[in-house]
Structure 1
Amino acid sequence: MELDRLDRDIIAALVEDARQTYAEIGQEVGLSASAVKRRVDRLRESGAITGFSAMVAPAALGWTTEAYVELFCQGKTKPSDIALAVARYPEVVGAATITGEADALLHIRATDVRHVERVIERIAAEPFVVRTKSAIVLSRLVDSPPGTTLPDARNGSHVPG
């Protein structure tokens, strides 16, 4: 779906505060509340907006430690096999296939370093995993929620939301 500037502004407003009213968003972007609602409905129907949720600080839930783990897999392990295996671990909050030597990169959240270690040990025991390489996050330098920076369709650069 092609997003125009108003769509981008509406999405940015929703990312900033999804609980604000259509009238409040309309004031911000220069549309009536009903026009904002029609656009939000269209954005939802098209799949551009996939839902609304509360953002909770992981530390509030006891997840105070995070790590990134590279997976090196044997042979031609399919991404779907990796996805099925790592989805069983609630500590894995993100996973992606990547370029470079590793086959996949996992984002892990845990209660402490020992917990991270146990999760990595369990993942390393998966039959397709040859080895892992991990990095513990010391501090986050940039932590923007998805959608706060939207690509500018004209030149591919990012436009703050």
Structure 2
Amino acid sequence: MVDTDAMLEHVDAKPENKSIDFQRIVYDSSTSDVILVKIDHQLTAPATEIEHSLNPVRFIQTVKELPDEDGGTEIKRIVSESKHIASENNVYSHLNLTPSENKAMMEKYFDIGNNKVVFARKYVSINSAQSSPPDWILKLRAHFAPESKRTRKFVI
């Protein structure tokens, strides 16, 4: 699984190779949702980072719990000043950031040092009972680990 960022990954996915399958997430403005598509799908804009596709309730809680250093203060400010749209189920739509605010969030926090890992660890440690996984994660689970073959529980 890859995201759809400014540096779109090109993968030569040959149909005869049944052992490897690549999926990509991208924001679909017609549905205001992040969707899972084949790697070579024509929808390639807007850039959709993995952070955009997360559950907004858990995302905001994670941001609140981040340390202030290494851009923590900046992402807290960006998130707190954004126009939260409660009915939206992904960070991209929920925060409703302008392109410059979105760029600032990525550059001033997520692109600094080990912040993506710090954020991911904090995100998965937050009680998932408060929110359900995004649809694209459920589809990814079903695609790569159908119920009939699932042997362990995924926690995301």
Which structure's relative contact order is higher, taking Cα pairs within 8 Å and 6+ residues apart?
A: 1
Q: Whose helix fraction is larger, Structure 1's or Structure 2's?
A: 2
State the TM-score bracket (shorter-chain normalisation): under 0.3
Please report the TM-score for the alignment, with normalisation by the length of structure 1.
Answer: 0.25
- Rg (Cα) greater in structure: 1
Q: Indicate the structure with greater strand content.
A: 1
